Amino acid sequence: MFSFSHEHFAFPLPIPHTLESFLQHVKHNPMNFINYCEIIVTKSGDIYIARHGHTETMKSLYKEMTGKCANDEMSIYDSPFEWLVENTNALPVWYDDHMHKLNLNAIEFSDEQSNVIDVLYQNGIINWNLKGGLK
């Protein structure tokens, strides 16, 4: 009999976008990005659309990076979201926000992540940046 255990399940990780391919994707699908943007930006600047939400996408990214299931690795006392950010070094991004109440001062952003955020902000795809907050 088939048994489904959510603890060991990971959604397939979407194909990563480069900054250029993401900008083209937004250009060709503008209705999907009106005051809406849910993505994960890796340390190297790759962009994943968080189709199944940020937490599930970061679980899939963690599995891709390590070959391990995040739920098996984190303590039951950890915040899954914070643990995943810390262990993937990925930046979860929303249109109007980032990292949902996490301490941004404790996170060291890569130049690539900063560049992605700046370009997305300059193109109106997100409504905030790392330097000055919201528009």
Quick: pLDDT tens for 88-126.
Answer: 999 999 888 765 445 555 567 889 998 999 999 999 999
What's the number of CA atoms in the CB half-sphere (13 Å) around residue 44? 7
What count of other Cβ atoms lies within 10 Å of the Cβ of residue 59?
A: 23
Domain ranges of the chain: 14-134
CA distance 134 to 50: 21
Predicted TM-score (pTM) of this structure = 0.85
pLDDT tens for each residue of the chain, 135 residues long: 444 445 556 688 889 999 999 999 999 999 999 989 999 999 999 999 999 899 999 999 999 999 999 999 999 898 888 899 889 999 999 888 765 445 555 567 889 998 999 999 999 999 876 665 544
Listed residue (82, 98, 88, 84) closest to 131, CA to CA: 98
